[in-house]
């Protein structure tokens, strides 16, 4: 059995409502156990015997059928999640203002030539990794031109972002399940 972190893209924004209770119910229905959600922004931690890609497809299809709209799901096992946490290039920023640091998780490896037009970057910093990116938003994300859509286009993948506080909370929930 494997502990996984499932991230839903663009739920509970713009009329795309999906209650956490529904998410837990659907995850249980596709075979997950020890299911929990974190916040109401599409974060799920669970235990499964399915491969992450297969589970992402099953969850996405089941959630889409339930919600009536497409629900992209990106899944990492706890080992991969811990590796992303350990590889953080912005340690000082994470300690000072974790809400301004984002882990953007993509549905597969980013393009080798991933880059963002310099005109979109004012003070932000990006570090690309295999299937995610770390983005430091010193002025916050509210008015940045470095949006999730811009990052996803540069990566050539669908992505979803979580601030560093959420990343650490999801890791802690994952370890609670791993220690059972």
pLDDT tens track for 75-84: 999 999 999 9
- The gap from C-alpha 173 to its chain's centroid, in whole angstroms, comes to 14
Q: Report residue 124 as tokens.
A: 């932000």
Position with higher pLDDT, 12 vs 99: 99
Tell me the H-state helices in 68-106.
Answer: 78-86, 91-96
Instruction: For 57-77, give the DSSP string.
Output: HHHHHHHHHHHSS---EEEEE
Give the pLDDT confidence score for residue 90 in this predicted structure. 98
26-37 residue pLDDT tens: 999 999 999 999
**In a shared domain, residues 91 and 154:** yes
Are both 132 and 111 inside the same structural domain? yes
Q: Which domain holds residue 173?
A: 2-80+169-178
Q: Is the domain of 92 the same as that of 124?
A: yes
Residue 94 has pLDDT above 90, yes or no: yes
pLDDT in the model for residue 13? 67
Q: What is the pTM of this model?
A: 0.95
Give me the pLDDT at residue 119, please: 79
pLDDT of residue 76: 98
Residues 95 and 109 occupy one common structural domain: yes
**Domain holding 12: CATH number?**
3.30.70.1280
CA separation for the pair 68, 164 (Å, rounded): 30
pLDDT at 120 > cutoff 90? no
Q: In terms of domains, do 11 and 76 share one?
A: yes
pLDDT at 22 over 80: yes
* CA pair distance 32, 38, nearest whole angstrom: 16
Q: Are 94 and 139 within one domain?
A: yes
Specify the range with the lowest mean pLDDT, choosing from 66-75, 77-86, 96-105, 167-176. Answer: 66-75
Q: Mean pLDDT, to the nearest integer, of 159-169?
A: 98
Question: In this structure, are 65 and 93 located in the same domain?
Answer: no
Q: Can you tell me whether residue 179 is helix, strand or coil?
A: coil
Choice between 136 and 69, residue whose per-residue pLDDT is larger: 136
pLDDT value at position 86? 98
Which residue shows structure tokens 């599409």? Answer: 42
pLDDT for residue 40: 86
Indicate the number of domains in the chain: 2
**pLDDT higher than 80, residue 14:** no
Q: Where are the beta strands (DSSP E) in the chain?
A: 2-8, 33-37, 43-48, 73-77, 101-106, 125-128, 132-136, 159-163
76 and 29 in one domain? yes
- The DSSP symbol for 97 reads -
Q: Percent of the chain at pLDDT above 90?
A: 83
């Amino acid at each position: 059995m494997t502990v996984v972190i499932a991230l839903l893209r663009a739920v509970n924004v713009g009329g795309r409502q999906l209650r956490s209770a529904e998410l837990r119910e659907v995850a249980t229905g596709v075979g997950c156990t020890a299911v929990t959600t974190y916040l109401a922004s599409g974060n799920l931690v669970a235990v499964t015997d399915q491969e992450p890609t297969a589970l992402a497809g099953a969850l996405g299809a089941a959630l889409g059928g339930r919600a009536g709209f497409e629900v992209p799901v990106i899944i990492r096992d706890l080992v991969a999640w811990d590796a992303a946490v350990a590889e953080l290039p912005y340690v000082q920023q994470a300690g000072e203002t974790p809400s301004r640091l984002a882990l953007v998780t993509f549905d597969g490896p980013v393009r080798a030539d991933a880059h963002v037009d310099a005109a979109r970057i004012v003070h932000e910093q990006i570090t690309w990794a295999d299937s995610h990116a770390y983005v430091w938003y010193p002025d916050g994300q509210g008015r940045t031109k470095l949006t999730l859509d811009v990052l996803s286009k540069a990566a050539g993948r669908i992505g979803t972002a979580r601030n560093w506080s959420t990343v650490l909370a999801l890791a802690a929930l994952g370890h609670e399940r791993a220690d059972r």
